[in-house]
Structure 1
């Protein structure tokens, strides 16, 4: 079938069409010059009313995966429409310089007994997932999935799914409500034998913006996405979120307010890491606040940021089924200068672990103007850790508890090769607090972790308290990244 939005497609032309990557940018540019059209959500009544369990019972037949018979290094399987995933997403295979639509077939799926019968034969797809031999050379594990609005997820070697990335966020946290752009079409380039990467093109649309994306995906210990995006706003975007990600933080050693649970911690990510344009490495532990918290970290040309899952010990979670210690971290590495802006962190109160209540992204200082072209390149690292830009020690655990009336005790653990064998008398903790008094700063080696521990007390106030801490030598040489935290009553 011809590429979407072409007049030939509207006329029902089903022939293949020559393809090159610039076509997707052209489609996005042309799309932005027209009025927004809501996505196709028409479904048979039985499919639109599916329960979660009914939808989960619809399975793609693995033997019918794209490229399976060719024994190529990647395979693609597709998601049925239904439940929350009503949008019809067009998906194409690109081979020999031509794009051809991957047509829906009911025979590609197995259906649970409780899924209502339907007769429609051209339903299309809700999304897709990519499989590759990431853990064993003879088995194709699921590596990434694109499903729902502009959401996508990936894993590195020996990991399970956790947090998600998004193509674009618009008006996140604004009182007028958030706008959710969605991927309306994908082009999957057929890989060559022995390929180590897969290229996927995507077309995004929303009321305020159209955009094109090119993802180059390289599975591995850390699965890496090279992302090339071109954004074409229909209206001025004052609250755009670039390279956005969403995660879940229910509770941890720093935040167990009103939690009655046998597990010590429950979260997909435990902190926001930032390597800013000044060369500072910041670590902000996440929390599940009583009220919405928005944190802004102003910067110029950031080197990277991401939501991390640093705690990798099963005993920190004690959850045999969820295996939170196997959830990936996601690090954004900007390619080129991003100029002035800020990393924005949203922490939303939640009483259940089923909700993503954490969001982070880059917001440029200047709005993205209507009818402009905005090109952005970055790299996403899904894996056990972020690329390490320095040898500074890192914070691994933040514990908080009461210490008498009107005071809190903060206990911070660190690890780092630069701390091994160092004279304890040469190390000091540097701790500051806005609107409060810090006392009893103690630093000491932690023989149980092979690292160090920094602890201090802070007087409790009614207003939120901004805290900042790091380890240094007695002559003020910085030994660790900078721990920053907002404690709220």
Structure 2
């Protein structure tokens, strides 16, 4: 298990806040009590969390306590890993339901307590914490008391044994992640991002309470409600989770800003990109690629399909793709052969892609991509999200609904040839770079060298020369190459698309080259 597998969701967990006051789910707004800091059991219905979030937004934010008793106050990464939940104590295992819940202990980066409730027959009941829910390799870490949980993960019972298959987890700040059968955890999602890429620092909102609806014996989906809280905003989330060939989350979110939020990130995706074949000269690395995701894929509101390969830049890079009502976007892992990575432990070939499908009118805004330099694979350095054109105003109410597809590929078919390879190297002339792009798909398969196909290439700086395109018999697709004469430029925005007689026959390839 890589250290990143624990770190993925937790980097901001210690700087975000507990709820100052949370009313019981069935109560009306009442006098604030300094000691009423956790949800209580009671009736629960669909609007409960929304009412709580709306009321909470009228109160001052208070950061959570993060001190822990005794030896677990200073747990190392390795020590945290030795505390394991006892699978036989999973919530709903004894009921033989289609989903089971395991819980994470507090400690290491995951210090604040998360309140977790089970909802059944219209009533919410707190899931009780017990030290006996965990196994401890180090007896000294078995600290008694009602410490509470840091988060949880969902399993589906395996068909042929008493074991189960992990489906998703919620741990740290507003992070969560999911996989489908046969995959390894990779990129994460967040409920909300605030100020990502801002030199002044980022604010990490936190899911501080969850309500898990007990499923029926034949239920195809699990419903989870979450209450978001931070210095700037509160929010109510409803996740409907469906396992299958892809794991699908239907997300209904309502945000209540305490203050104006000028840099919100909706449907935020967080991933890691250290290197790929185009970066081979920068790293003394035995593996040909080290990445959870290889590109940002966008389907614009105007119908253009864009493939933007990711980079591990020397300096922080912020790219903005303005548009209205995007049809979708996602961080994709398209290369699926073991030989693409050669890593038996990390199995980057089995990391999921995640596609965001907006539902309803999202209006004007932009898909933002943040690429952060990283020296290794430990750090998540890629962030992508939707940023509305207008700020989220204090005392307002904002609803965003979307569907998340965690799987092996995009959830929708395309008639366009898809980009499979991006290679970059030194050109023959001083100050030039050569780019090689492969596209594969029915639109170009079997086309002869004299087919009416031509690449259209543009750059924001320098000059494009030596454009060349031919069939690639090794892939059954088409290869495009060109030179960028940089002219001393330090940055160039490049664009390439393969055109046929009636328009594009390939995705649009975009790339930010930096010296």
The residue aligned with 1:182 is: 206
**Cα deviation, residue 459, structure 1:** 1.2
- Aligned CA RMSD, in angstroms, stands at 1.8
Report which stretch shifted further, 193-202 or 434-443.
434-443
**Cα deviation, residue 154, structure 1:** 0.2
* Aligned equivalent of 1:440, options 466, 472, 479: 466
Aligned length: 484
The residue aligned with 1:453 is: 479
- 2:391 counterpart of 1:377: no
Deviations 1:409-438 (A, max 9, x none): 111111112212223312211111121211
The residue aligned with 2:97 is: 72
The residue aligned with 1:418 is: 443
Query: Does the aligned pair in 2 maintain the 1:43–1:82 contact within 8 Å?
Result: yes
The residue aligned with 1:466 is: 493
Query: Does the aligned pair in 1 maintain the 2:136–2:142 contact within 8 Å?
Result: no
Query: Does the aligned pair in 2 maintain the 1:54–1:115 contact within 8 Å?
Result: no
Q: Distance in 2 between matches of 1:486 and 1:246?
A: 19
Report which stretch shifted further, 429-438 or 100-109.
429-438
Q: Distance in 1 between matches of 2:363 and 2:40?
A: 44
Q: Distance in 2 between matches of 1:13 and 1:163?
A: 31
Note the 1:130-141 alignment, pairs <5 A.
130-133=154-157, 139-141=163-165
The residue aligned with 2:389 is: 365
Deviations 1:3-61 (A, max 9, x none): x7126895699974110020100000011000001123231141120000000000000
**Cα deviation, residue 68, structure 1:** 0.2
The residue aligned with 1:49 is: 74
Report which stretch shifted further, 405-414 or 78-87.
405-414
Note the 1:65-464 alignment, pairs <5 A.
65-113=90-138, 115-119=140-144, 121-133=145-157, 139-404=163-428, 405-425=430-450, 426-460=452-486, 461-464=488-491
Query: Does the aligned pair in 2 maintain the 1:54–1:114 contact within 8 Å?
Result: no
Gaps of 5+ in 2: 1-20, 28-32
**Cα deviation, residue 463, structure 1:** 2.1
Report which stretch shifted further, 336-345 or 132-141.
132-141
Q: Distance in 1 between matches of 2:73 and 2:89?
A: 25
Deviations 1:293-327 (A, max 9, x none): 00000010110001111111111111011000100
**Cα distance change, pair 136–202 in 1 and its aligned pair in 2 (3 A):** farther
**Cα deviation, residue 116, structure 1:** 3.3
The residue aligned with 1:5 is: 22
The residue aligned with 2:511 is: 485
Q: Distance in 2 between matches of 1:402 and 1:314?
A: 28
Q: Secondary structure at the match of 2:55?
A: helix
Q: Secondary structure at the match of 1:126?
A: strand
**Cα distance change, pair 60–476 in 1 and its aligned pair in 2 (3 A):** same
Q: Secondary structure at the match of 2:156?
A: strand
The residue aligned with 1:17 is: 42
**Cα distance change, pair 286–57 in 1 and its aligned pair in 2 (3 A):** same
Q: Distance in 1 between matches of 2:159 and 2:327?
A: 30
Deviations 1:436-487 (A, max 9, x none): 21122222222222222111111133320111001112x3521001000010
**Cα deviation, residue 118, structure 1:** 2.4
Q: Distance in 2 between matches of 1:12 and 1:441?
A: 65
**Cα deviation, residue 341, structure 1:** 0.4
**Cα distance change, pair 353–115 in 1 and its aligned pair in 2 (3 A):** farther
Deviations 1:201-231 (A, max 9, x none): 0001000000010000001111000000000
Q: Distance in 1 between matches of 2:140 and 2:80?
A: 8
Query: Does the aligned pair in 2 maintain the 1:289–1:349 contact within 8 Å?
Result: yes
Query: Does the aligned pair in 2 maintain the 1:400–1:411 contact within 8 Å?
Result: yes
**Cα distance change, pair 379–115 in 1 and its aligned pair in 2 (3 A):** farther
Query: Does the aligned pair in 2 maintain the 1:134–1:143 contact within 8 Å?
Result: no
Report which stretch shifted further, 417-426 or 157-166.
417-426
Deviations 1:313-365 (A, max 9, x none): 11111101100010001111000110000000000001011000000000000
Q: Distance in 2 between matches of 1:115 and 1:472?
A: 66
Q: Distance in 1 between matches of 2:391 and 2:455?
A: 40
Deviations 1:356-414 (A, max 9, x none): 00000000000000000001100001001112253111101111111222211111111
Q: Distance in 2 between matches of 1:106 and 1:96?
A: 28
Q: Distance in 1 between matches of 2:463 and 2:160?
A: 54
Q: Distance in 2 between matches of 1:134 and 1:467?
A: 47
Q: Secondary structure at the match of 1:28?
A: helix
